[in-house]
Amino acid sequence: MSAVLTNPALPPVRESPGLWSLAWRRLRQDAVGMVSLVVVAIFIAMMAGSYFGLIAKDWNKEKGVSYANPSFLAGSENLEARSMGAKDAAAKAPPVDLSDVDPLAPRYKEWEERAAKIAVTETKRSEVLPFGGDKWGRDVLQKAIKGSEVSIFVGLSAALLATLIGTMLGAAAGYWGGWANDLLEWVYNVFTSIPYILLILAFAAVAATSGKFGKGILPIVLILSLTGWTGIYRLMRAEYIKHSNREYVKAAQAIGASNWSRMFGHILPNVSHVSLVQLSQHVVGFIKAEVILSFLGFGVPVDMVSWGTMLAEAQNELVIGKWWQLFAAGASMAILVTAFSLLTDSLRDALDPKLK
């Protein structure tokens, strides 16, 4: 034996940790990564809570006056609310006496008596809401929470789906080459040769007219992911072309590993950083794309709220100086998107065993 380095004193009894458990262990040591993970988890919990009606259930109630001030700006003037109040007051003013000509006049008294029997509670619209109100006096904070349901779901699931499609197709084209590559490149060229918005609208039109996917969130997810996979596909294909000629893949072939295992067991962990970064970028992009779709009327139905519809509303409000709706939606989006990007960065580092 040559230069034996054996060390029999050290017992080898230890659980063999897999890639993922090691990655989790490394992620836990990363302060930034853990904070981002917590933030993302809070957002997802918020989304789930609002979906099951635990929080922000009555976001649709008109609780405040029109454009109610946020509580931290309670004192400032609210011209819009005052003018609305004036209109209401005008409506309540006693009508002109028409009893001479009105054939129903004798019955008014009877009706008034009957109406008095029904208890009517006049809801007192509050002047101030925690984060301000919108045009109809709905609570902006609750709207933002309810809106996260649509936005996060659309952003995350569309990005996941697009990354999945892009990765699978990219892997197939890059690994197999030949006619599989030619075919997929052709599809890719067709997709990228059409202007993006036009492509989205075309898909949206198909989804709307066929009506197979119903109305609501699902068609948006499908539209965004079916049009958004191309960039990911291009990058993954390049990575697969590069890696499928590497010696470790040849070595795996030599020991008899199947094509499937080489593609996804050997190469994928080595290129996963690319899809992770793409995933985080696309989450951001798709949350914004949902805004565009909603704005154009292909997005969420009118009885739902998303950060996108909030931003669309905020355009008109900004002109009259009501900035809080924009701020609520924009800040929620910024915090989530930043946390998510940092999380994927940490995840990428955690998945690389070379970085300690």
Q: What are the residues binding other proteins (CB under 8 A)?
A: 1-7, 10, 12, 14, 16-19, 246-248, 250-258, 261, 266, 269-270, 351-354, 356
Instruction: Give φ, ψ of 126 to 5 degrees.
Output: -80, 150
CA distances from 141 to 206, 219, 313 (A): 35, 27, 15
Q: Are 184 and 173 in contact (CB under 8 A)?
A: yes
CB contact set of 196 (below 8 Å; sequence gap of 6+): 227
Cβ closer to other proteins: 6 or 193? 6
In whole angstroms, the minimum distance from the beta carbon of 184 to other proteins comes to 19
Cβ closer to other proteins: 116 or 254? 254
In whole angstroms, the minimum distance from the beta carbon of 238 to other proteins comes to 18
In whole angstroms, the minimum distance from the beta carbon of 205 to other proteins comes to 39
Cβ closer to other proteins: 18 or 297? 18
Beta pairing partners, 70 = 129
In whole angstroms, the minimum distance from the beta carbon of 179 to other proteins comes to 15
Cβ closer to other proteins: 18 or 94? 18
Cβ closer to other proteins: 89 or 255? 255
In whole angstroms, the minimum distance from the beta carbon of 347 to other proteins comes to 14
In whole angstroms, the minimum distance from the beta carbon of 247 to other proteins comes to 4
For 305-351, give the secondary structure using H, E and C.
CCHHHHHHHHHHHHHCCCCHHHHHHHHHHHHHHHHHHHHHHHHHHHH
Cβ closer to other proteins: 120 or 254? 254
3-class DSSP assignment, residue 55: coil
Beta pairing partners, 69 = 128
CA distances from 310 to 37, 169, 229, 250, 273 (A): 26, 36, 27, 53, 33
